[in-house]
A and B are shown apart, each in its own frame.
Chain A
Amino acid sequence: MSKKTIIPIGPYHPLQEEPEFFKLHVDGETVVKVDIELGYNHRGVEKLAESKTFEQAVYFVERICGICSTSHPIACCQAIEDAGEVKVPERALYIRSIIGELERLHSHLLWLGLAGHFLGFNTVWMWVWRYREDVINCLEIITGNRNHYCMMKPGGVRRDIKGEDIPTILGVLNGLKKPLDLFYKTVNQDPVLQARTRNVGILTRQNIIDYCGVGPLARASGVAIDVRKDHPHAAYGMVDFKVITTTKGDVFDKVDVRILEMFESVSIIKQCLEALKKTPGPIDANPAVIKAGDGIGHYEAPRGEVIHYIRSDGSNRPARHKIRAPSYVNVATNRTAVVGQSIADATIILGAVDPCYCCTERMAAIRVDNGEKTLTADDLIKLSWDKTSRLRKELGAAGPVLPLD
């Protein structure tokens, strides 16, 4: 007779960088239900934002998230500009897109590394993060900061990209070509990685529409929504790029979409840099007053659409500032994706959403309540690693081997 067991993941768990609580109801090895509890990281950002001026609000929302730290400021600036009918100079638009795409590169690389770690391929993790370092260095050259770039302001950007920095940035982008090709080949050819990710955690097209899912998660299930293409903002209407979609919606497709998107990002940055050379001019419209009215700004963050709604009453502060980050809708899809899967796969499915809890709160872990059996946090990642080593033996393959430089 099978017993139902509840396995709590969280609020604090080595699987995740931030607190959130997933309660997995398992029957034997199979997950039958998932409860998600948020709130462990709720900081009251929306309330606090009402006490900041518009300029301060942009600085403030940048601190919501440490990974996609420029997505919130871009969306926030666009909301303020929408409310105040501010026109942003063209050069500033290109700079916004360059920073945004560099951030997408480092965020996707970060996720790819973590996915490797969850699956027990720590070489993938180390090597991917080594190339992520190049992207972060590049951001440091442009903005002065490895993270929290402080580049956006209502009406434009704070710093210009100097002509003399462009060859350095191009050098970093060209250097990424080889590792990206290698990651793509590894993921598509390695039998162990395929066995761990194919047909695991499937989200159908209808699931995405029901949950209103966004970002790479939606695109992996064949829903071609991308704010950059559908609602052109920053410089995305002026450059040429493809919206990457796949059809199956399993973990493998989510990996695939993100890797292919990195190639597009590299191409977008190159086009923007080319355009920067031909687009002189101011980088800031310096709006003096933000008119009263409602403003909505949305931006395609690495994890999907982030939306900011701002109500301006004509003063220098927002009367209401609503923030919805992509993980808020995407984390909810786990209620469908994890059900019916084995606990050993739960780690990678929960991770495949690329959850960003800070954003969701503006938030997983394992313990057994009824004392039948106790799984510690480490056990969960170990379960995932054990499955990988079992598959390695069965398939007689070593798993991805990344050659040194």
Chain B
Amino acid sequence: MVLTSRNEVLQNLRERLGNKIVSVFEKNERRIYIEVAPQDIVETTKVIFRDYEARLQTASGVDTPDKIDIYYHWAFDRANCLVTIIVKLDRQKPVIDSIAPLCMGAEWIEREMWELLGVTFNNHPDMRHLLLMDEWPEGQYPLRRDFRLPKKNSPLNPLS
């Protein structure tokens, strides 16, 4: 079913996602942010991608002091509305189910978030390095706040 207005999007998502929703923030006419629990991400994606035919624009991983947030940006093109699904993961052990088996468009971005932010995606069909070299050491995540550039003489330092 294709949703054609912003209110329709909000109403339908509220109904279908029900108690999976942790919070809803309506930023403005065209932007809606909905937080769901990490274990509900696959079900939520099924509803949004399969039933309402939204398009996955991308996902942003954000490192915050105590959590790692993942923002899944969905475009409802016929409703002039962007819906962002937020999940907050434990910073010490960020693990979440992959949505790539459902939505092929998420394959590369999940690989990217794995290598740059250290988020583990369960059931990802093809998890390997996307942008960084294969020799990149484990546990070094460039987009984390506490990441320090490898030492000057290290082969991992582009300036060496």
Contacts and interface: CB of A to CB of B under 8 A. Distances in A.
Contacts of B27: 82, 293-294
A60 to B, nearest CB: 17
B56 interface: yes
9 contacts: A39-B132, A44-B142, A212-B103, A212-B105, A225-B77, A231-B82, A294-B84, A309-B71, A320-B62
Say whether chain A's binding surface is mostly helix, strand, loop, or mixed: mixed
Contacts of B63: 320
Interface string B12-34: 00000000000000011011010
Nearest to B25: A294
A329 B55 CA distance: 11
Nearest to A361: B131
Interface string A332-353: 1000000000000000000000
A322 interface: yes
B60 A320 contact: yes
Contact of A296 (B31, B53, B104): B31
Contacts, number: 89
Interface in B43-90: 53, 55-58, 60, 62-63, 71, 73, 75, 77-78, 80, 82, 84
A305 B131 contact: no
A209 B77 CA distance: 12
B77 A332 contact: no
Nearest to A213: B105
A230 B71 contact: no
Given A296-B84, A309-B71, A328-B108, A212 B55 contact: yes
A405 interface: no
B75 A39 contact: no
Contacts of B130: 38-39
A274 interface: no
A307 B73 contact: yes
A153 interface: no
Contact of B73 (A214, A309, A319, A361): A309
